[in-house]
């Protein structure tokens, strides 16, 4: 049986080259740029007033004479009439300063009398209150680097420099197959021996957290032909997630069914709890994650392993990992890595109760998974442990 | 002019009672529960085997005799045939143990010879490897508390206990009106004096980050009647965001237009940079945020003030606030609170370059806003500053 570290390495080695997709800015929200972006225009596209005030030529001004106001430029308009040395133009924030001017004096710092203004700002120098053309970004200049996250502000920035589409790393397509004879639908009456199926909705919700809608979700009985039929239909997805049927019981049909469908086993079973019977395989470019059917194992394995594979497609880190001190002692036997449900405090992390893999009540309120190392046994309050945020 | 703290308090005081909405589990993903949830069934719904193995009565077993295997219960099936003291039943993980049994021995811990098993597990006690009915959650028990975040795992948990709909705090409806004669659409040729409009797409993207799609987005010219018409159409939304036209220039028509539409001004202008001319008002239940038109001011004010109002509707904290040490000295004059674009390091936070409110290039790669207090002047490397994450 391999350990967690080996499993993660094998998943990494089997992740394929990312795909690049061209998206509109809003579609790309939250994605990672697959190539640098170059400005297609100067921004601002012209020398622009930074204030409501008066534009004039500081160069040609004797620093004492009054100036005659010869016109007005509202933001959004422009004027190509040359302003002479004894003249000024009423101007507003964002408007292009007219030819012949180089400086703007704020409206609060003049005395205006009819069409004449007296400048009262001793701190003015040439260029004051003017945003030069291209002073944010020049045409042809790199505006954002490859691997940059497309944030809401980045979207506003790109829209402002005339960009409407970007090339980003594509999200993988994901299919889900849930297996189990015992599974009843949400609107069924549950009869003796059945339980409500909850793994598919948990996985859908977790994928939604990453902005992914699965292309297919199917619940199938523990019957070989049905499982094989379901698998073979989904081998065109980038990622196929199965739950249930991966242990060693007589009705654990998933590994054999995957084999019959041509999926190559990379590993089966990891020295971990929960999720020991976890299976990982590959069929051409399709990564296959067959998770043990217990709800807690499904969600742990999703956050620890499936998200790792999704990240390799999107180049995005979804859930921060950090080292935090334990709030209380914790003991376990050596031999398995434990992934336990935790809650982060101000400066530490607490192990929640009810960690059995069939119970979800503490996992439902957890904000992180705490990793207790394979060989570790006696963890003391204050010991640093690896914590993966899941919110 | 009021300061940042006073502004935040006035926004809080004017936020109305939250609305509650009944949603399906997937629709409620990421929302906050408006009431506690009680289990409608016992989970597990029956005494359930935790292993693949053999169910028998430990109570009636002499701890040495062989047992006769009288049948099999596959997961998803059940049997109501009473198992006698010298008998056992082949059983699988998740299957209901049959009447007359109380314990399961793992398949790895028996010698099976035909229909007879010899138990080889000295550690067995009554109840081993059985998950008692209701041991996760009992019918009628509180499963999740009010104010709990509906996480993907919580969704799986709730589906498992038979819940299909939940009451959560509703997201507000949001309308956006962008004003400015200078604004060109993304597919226009920009002519002299015009710039590409980018505030609407930045705000849409930021709302998407919170799972909100605005109900209306309109770009209007700096013309009073047009602005008034646009405002009056959107006063049924919970939140109305305007950008531009809130300063004191002759074409800053938004505050007056809001007044004409019956919006009551709560405050206009805050001692802050960027975003000093920020206006906040209210019309019945509609909160009106009129933001200065500079892109950086728009996004800063959104993250600092509009998100605060959205949180009061949804009861959700969107962006963590924390105190981090400055990576380098920073100096400013007293009198205004500064919200500067920052980048978090391992254990500190760095002020980015290009903080002018018309420039977005550093904001586009920022992961936080750093708050420099109104009265502060000389901030030293290592000083703790308030940081709001925006990703």
Domain boundaries, chain A: 4-19+171-314, 28-42+141-169, 48-131, 321-389
Give the distance from CA A85 to its chain's centroid.
54
CB pairs < 8 Å spanning A and B: 277
CATH topology assigned to domain B20-43+137-169: Molybdopterin biosynthesis moea protein, domain 2 (3.90.105)
Residues 246-305 of chain A whose Cβ lies under 8 A from any Cβ of chain B: 247-251, 293, 295, 298-299
Token pair in block for residue A222: 């523990």
Contact between residue B47 and residue B133 where contact means Cβ atoms under 8 Å apart: yes
The CATH H-level (homologous superfamily) assignment of domain A321-389 is MoeA, C-terminal, domain IV (2.40.340.10)
Q: Do B153 and A202 touch (CB under 8 A)?
A: yes
CA distance A148 to chain B (A): 7
Q: Which H helix or E strand runs over B379?
A: strand B378-379
Report which of residues B191 and A387 the model is more confident about.
A387
Out of A73, A154, A181, the one facing B364 most closely (by C-beta) is: A154
Q: What is the DSSP string of B101-164?
A: --EEEEGGGEEEETTEEEE--TT--TTTTEE-TTSSB-TTSEEE-TT-B--HHHHHHHHHTT--
pLDDT score recorded for residue B250: 83
Q: What is the mean pLDDT of each run of 10 residues along chain A (391 residues)?
A: 98 93 98 97 95 96 95 96 96 96 97 96 96 96 97 97 96 98 91 95 98 98 96 98 92 96 98 97 97 96 98 96 96 97 94 89 96 97 97 92
Give me the interface pTM, i.e. the ipTM: 0.95
Q: Do A251 and B74 touch (CB under 8 A)?
A: yes
Which residues of chain B are within 8 Å of residue A179 when distances are taken between CB atoms?
none
pLDDT score recorded for residue A332: 97
Q: Do B251 and A363 touch (CB under 8 A)?
A: no
Which residues of chain A are within 8 Å of residue B91 when distances are taken between CB atoms?
none
CA distance B238 to chain A (A): 22
CA distance A284 to chain B (A): 30
Question: Confidence class of residue B371 from pLDDT cuts 50, 70 and 90?
Answer: very high
Question: Confidence class of residue B355 from pLDDT cuts 50, 70 and 90?
Answer: confident
Out of A45, A74, A205, the one facing B155 most closely (by C-beta) is: A205
Q: Do A156 and B222 touch (CB under 8 A)?
A: no
CA distance A352 to chain B (A): 14
Q: Break chain B down into helix, strand, coil percent, rounded to 5.
A: 20, 30, 50
Out of A41, A159, A360, the one facing B157 most closely (by C-beta) is: A360
A32 contacts chain B (CB < 8 A) = no
User: What is the C-alpha separation between B214 and B218, in angstroms, rounded?
Assistant: 11
Q: Give the Å distances, CA to CA, from B193 to A40, A77, B175, B182, B189.
A: 17, 5, 27, 6, 12
Out of A25, A186, A293, the one facing B159 most closely (by C-beta) is: A186
Residue of A nearest to B138 (CA): A361
Which residues of chain A are within 8 Å of residue B347 when distances are taken between CB atoms?
none
Which residues of chain B are within 8 Å of residue A41 when distances are taken between CB atoms?
190
CB half-sphere exposure, A307, CA atoms < 13 A: 25
Q: Do A180 and B52 touch (CB under 8 A)?
A: no
A162 contacts chain B (CB < 8 A) = yes
Tell me the CATH number of domain A4-19+171-314, given options 3.30.420.40, 3.40.50.80, 3.40.980.10, 3.30.110.40: 3.40.980.10
Give residue-wise pLDDT tens across range B72-85.
999 999 999 999 99
Q: Do A365 and B26 touch (CB under 8 A)?
A: no
pLDDT score recorded for residue B356: 87
Q: Do A153 and B44 touch (CB under 8 A)?
A: no
Q: Do B76 and A144 touch (CB under 8 A)?
A: no
pLDDT score recorded for residue B31: 98
CA distance A25 to chain B (A): 8
Out of A156, A192, A197, the one facing B78 most closely (by C-beta) is: A192
- For B220-228, what is the mean pLDDT? 96
Q: What is the DSSP string of A151-190?
A: -HHHHHHHHHTT--EEEEEPPPPEEEEEE-TTEE-TTSPP
Give residue-wise pLDDT tens across range B255-267.
999 999 999 999 9
Number of Cβ within 10 Å of residue A179's Cβ equals 28
pLDDT score recorded for residue A11: 98
Contact between residue B333 and residue B298 where contact means Cβ atoms under 8 Å apart: no
Q: Give the Å distances, CA to CA, from B147 to A366, B32, B136, B167, B302.
A: 14, 5, 21, 11, 24
Which residues of chain A are within 8 Å of residue B187 when distances are taken between CB atoms?
164
Same fold, A4-19+171-314 and A321-389: no
Q: What are phi and psi of A220, to 5 degrees?
A: -125, 155
Q: What is the DSSP letter of A14?
A: H
Q: Do A365 and B248 touch (CB under 8 A)?
A: no
Give the lowest-confidence range in B102-111, B153-162, B242-251, B363-372. Answer: B242-251
User: Domain B48-131 has what CATH class?
Assistant: mainly beta
Residue of B nearest to A245 (CA): B93
Give residue-wise pLDDT tens across range B127-179.
999 999 999 999 999 999 999 999 999 999 999 999 999 999 999 999 999 99
Q: Give the Å distances, CA to CA, from B380 to B255, B328, B384.
A: 39, 7, 9
A323 contacts chain B (CB < 8 A) = no
Residue of B nearest to A203 (CA): B152
Q: What is the DSSP string of B305-323?
A: IIHHHHHHHH----S-EEE
A165 contacts chain B (CB < 8 A) = no
Three-point CA angle A237, A238, A239, nearest 5°: 90
Residue of B nearest to A149 (CA): B365
Q: Do B202 and A155 touch (CB under 8 A)?
A: yes
Q: Do A159 and B201 touch (CB under 8 A)?
A: yes
Report which of residues B187 and A159 the model is more confident about.
A159
Which residues of chain A are within 8 Å of residue B391 when distances are taken between CB atoms?
149, 151
CA distance B236 to chain A (A): 26
Residues 122-141 of chain A whose Cβ lies under 8 A from any Cβ of chain B: 131, 135-137
pLDDT score recorded for residue A357: 82
A106 contacts chain B (CB < 8 A) = no
B30 contacts chain A (CB < 8 A) = yes
Residue of B nearest to A146 (CA): B365
Q: Give the Å distances, CA to CA, from A308 to A15, A31, A240, A285.
A: 9, 16, 14, 16
CA distance B276 to chain A (A): 13
Helix (H, G, I), strand (E, B) or coil at B4: helix
Q: Do A194 and B76 touch (CB under 8 A)?
A: yes
**Placement of tokens 């990379």 in the chain:** A266
Pick among B78, B93, B146, B152 to test the A interface (most A CBs inside 10 A): B152
Pick among A107, A360, A362, A369 to test the B interface (most B CBs inside 10 A): A360
């Amino acid at each position: 049986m391999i350990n967690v570290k080996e499993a993660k390495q094998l998943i990494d080695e089997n992740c394929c080259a990312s795909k690049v997709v061209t998206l509109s800015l809003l579609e790309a929200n939250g994605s990672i740029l697959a190539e640098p972006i170059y400005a297609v225009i100067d921004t601002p596209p012209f020398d622009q007033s930074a204030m409501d005030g008066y534009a004039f030529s500081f160069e040609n001004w004797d620093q004492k004479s009054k100036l005659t106001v010869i016109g007005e430029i509202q933001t959004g308009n422009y004027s190509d009439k040359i302003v002479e040395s004894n003249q000024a133009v009423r101007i507003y924030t964002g408007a292009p300063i007219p030819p012949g001017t180089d400086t703007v004096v704020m409206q609060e710092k003049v005395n205006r009398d009819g069409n004449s203004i007296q400048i009262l700002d001793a701190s003015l120098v040439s260029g004051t209150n003017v945003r030069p053309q291209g002073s944010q970004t020049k045409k042809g200049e790199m505006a954002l680097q490859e691997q940059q996250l497309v944030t809401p502000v980045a979207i506003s920035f790109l829209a402002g420099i005339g960009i409407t589409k970007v090339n980003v790393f594509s999200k993988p397509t994901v299919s889900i197959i849930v297996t189990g004879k015992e599974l009843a639908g949400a609107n069924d009456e549950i009869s003796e021996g059945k339980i409500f199926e909850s793994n598919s909705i948990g996985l859908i919700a977790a994928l939604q957290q990453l902005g992914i809608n699965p292309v297919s979700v199917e619940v199938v009985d523990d019957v070989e032909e049905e499982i094989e039929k379901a698998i073979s239909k989904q081998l065109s997805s980038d990622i196929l997630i199965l739950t249930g049927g991966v242990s060693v019981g007589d009705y654990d049909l998933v590994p054999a069914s995957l084999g019959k469908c041509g999926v190559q086993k990379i590993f089966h079973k990891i020295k971990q709890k929960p999720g020991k019977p976890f299976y990982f395989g590959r069929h051409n470019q399709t990564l296959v994650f067959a998770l043990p059917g217990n709800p807690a194992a499904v969600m742990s394995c999703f956050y620890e392993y499936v998200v790792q594979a999704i990240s390799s497609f999107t180049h995005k880190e979804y859930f921060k990992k950090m080292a935090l001190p334990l709030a209380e002692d914790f003991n376990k036997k050596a031999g398995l890595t434990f992934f336990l449900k935790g809650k982060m405090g101000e400066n530490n992390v607490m192990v929640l109760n009810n960690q059995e893999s069939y119970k979800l009540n503490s996992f439902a309120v957890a904000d992180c998974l705490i990793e207790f190392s394979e060989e570790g046994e006696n963890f003391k309050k204050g010991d640093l442990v690896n914590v993966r945020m899941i919110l």
